[in-house]
């Protein structure tokens, strides 16, 4: 049985990984999460009663806490997802991104290195430190036929992507210099259930239902490759448990869409599932706003390596995934969504700590 630390495990992608592990494997999980604004214990409600689930409210920048958790839990794997991740927030206040994404990763690597030295030779061989990163570290693509590949040079455009690029470099350096068995994955834009409402897809769904304007940056022609979060979770677990140390794996959804296409797709689904009282389309609520500084034009990932070497491919098309996503938000508008929007989900943090059982 694997024993897996998942940092940021109460967040959007991290909680999808934790739910997958508890539901579909026999492994044990220790979630390490500071429970900042995007960490939500409701994301883990389905699995928190499991005897294989443990929760630690802790900051990855706290070295003493990290050493204690490694010593107590004795992990075989670390899946590092804890990060500040919203580009707009990184533009408004980059300092917290440097602290969490760079210094936090450094602190976690040092705790892992100390722990790794205590293991038997077999334990050292089996141990994995998996850095979960983003395609934004590559900058953007100009030509329609080009894709991000594992050997694409880094050229980050925002404080967020620069902080993640820094963390990736640290992870690779700790393998080269100290022999820590590390892996890195870079993923395209995720979407799906439990996505915090500041992100494009949930924001558009909830603003539409509330009769608010649907803001689209610039002309809306920026292209992203969309990856359903549960597909990503399966890929991450596969890399953590089957990937080769020192390797990088790009994870993409084969779903390139412009932002305006995504917004119009959501409007069309809502028109069919929850029509406006006046009979008009939700698309009438779309407004174009001033573009984000340094906004990358196109992201697109070539995921052929993970498909070829680890036999992974996404199960969801954008059309099937966005239908599931819209339906989930409609079904949970009055509980999960309401709790996030009114802030009541934060109250659960007061009792979070220990093993969470």
Question: Six-digit token pair at 231?
Answer: 């597909």
* CATH number of domain containing 322: 3.40.50.720
Q: Look at strands 286-289 and 214-217 and give their pairing.
A: parallel
The Cα angle at residue 231 between residues 240 and 159, in degrees rounded to 5:
75
Count of alpha carbons within 13 Å of 347, Cβ hemisphere only?
5
Q: Is residue 342 part of a domain?
A: yes
Please tell me the total count of domains within the chain: 1
Q: Is residue 357 part of a domain?
A: no
Q: How far does CA 129 lie from the centroid of its chain?
A: 16
Residue 352, pLDDT score: 39
Q: Is residue 356 part of a domain?
A: no
Question: Six-digit token pair at 239?
Answer: 């890399």
Q: Where in the sequence is the domain holding 21, given as residue range(s)?
A: 3-351
**Residue 136 bears catalytic tag:** yes
Q: Is residue 161 part of a domain?
A: yes
Cα distance between residue 204 and residue 268, in whole Å: 12
Q: Is residue 27 part of a domain?
A: yes
pTM of the model: 0.93
Low-confidence ranges of the chain (pLDDT < 50): 350-357
Phi and psi dihedrals of 152, rounded to 5? -65, 130
User: Which member of 136, 168, 231, 296 is catalytic?
Assistant: 136
- Candidates 236, 216, 285; CA nearest to 19 is 236
**Residue 135 bears catalytic tag:** yes
User: Which member of 135, 256, 296, 316 is catalytic?
Assistant: 135
Residues 6+ away with beta carbon under 8 Å from 202 = 195, 196, 329, 337
Cα distance between residue 88 and residue 350, in whole Å: 28
What are the angstrom distances between the C-alpha of 343 and each of 54, 69, 177, 201? 24, 29, 44, 20
Q: Is residue 223 part of a domain?
A: yes
Helix axes 200-209 and 318-331, enclosed angle (nearest 10): 50
User: Which member of 138, 160, 228, 299 is catalytic?
Assistant: 160
Q: Is residue 237 part of a domain?
A: yes
Q: Is residue 262 part of a domain?
A: yes
Residue 347, pLDDT score: 64
Residue 355, pLDDT score: 34
Residue 86, pLDDT score: 72
């Amino acid at each position: 049985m694997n024993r897996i630390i998942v940092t940021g495990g109460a967040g959007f992608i991290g909680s999808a990984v934790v739910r997958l592990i508890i539901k579909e494997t026999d492994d044990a999980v220790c979630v390490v999460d500071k429970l900042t604004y995007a960490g939500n214990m409701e994301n883990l409600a389905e699995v928190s009663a499991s005897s294989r689930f443990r929760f630690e409210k802790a900051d990855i920048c706290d070295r003493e806490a990290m050493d204690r958790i490694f010593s107590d839990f004795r992990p075989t794997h670390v899946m590092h997802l804890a990060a500040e991740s919203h580009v707009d927030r990184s533009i408004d206040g980059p300092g917290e991104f440097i602290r969490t994404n760079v210094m936090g990763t450094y602190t976690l690597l040092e705790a892992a290195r100390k722990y790794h030295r205590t293991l038997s030779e077999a334990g050292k061989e089996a141990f994995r430190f998996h850095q979960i990163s983003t395609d934004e570290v590559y900058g953007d693509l100009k030509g329609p036929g080009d894709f991000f590949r594992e050997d694409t040079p880094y050229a980050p455009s925002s404080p967020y992507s620069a902080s993640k690029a820094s963390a990736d470099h640290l992870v690779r350096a700790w393998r080269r210099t100290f022999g820590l068995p590390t892996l890195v994955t870079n993923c395209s834009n995720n979407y799906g259930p439990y996505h915090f409402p500041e992100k494009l897809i949930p924001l558009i769904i909830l603003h539409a239902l509330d009769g608010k304007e649907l803001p689209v940056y610039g002309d809306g022609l920026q292209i992203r490759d969309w990856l359903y979060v549960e597909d990503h979770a399966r890929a991450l677990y596969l890399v953590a448990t089957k990937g080769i140390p020192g390797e990088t794996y790009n994870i993409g959804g084969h779903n390139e869409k412009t932002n305006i296409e995504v917004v119009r797709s959501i409007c069309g689904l809502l028109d069919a599932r929850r029509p406006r009282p006046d009979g008009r389309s939700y698309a009438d609520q779309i407004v174009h706003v001033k573009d984000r500084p340094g906004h990358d034009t196109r992201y697109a990932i070539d995921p052929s390596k993970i498909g070829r070497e680890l036999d992974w491919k996404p199960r969801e098309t954008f059309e099937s995934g966005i239908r599931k996503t819209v339906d989930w938000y409609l079904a949970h508008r009055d509980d999960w969504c309401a709790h996030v929007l009114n802030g009541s989900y934060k109250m659960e943090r007061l009792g979070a700590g220990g093993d969470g059982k």
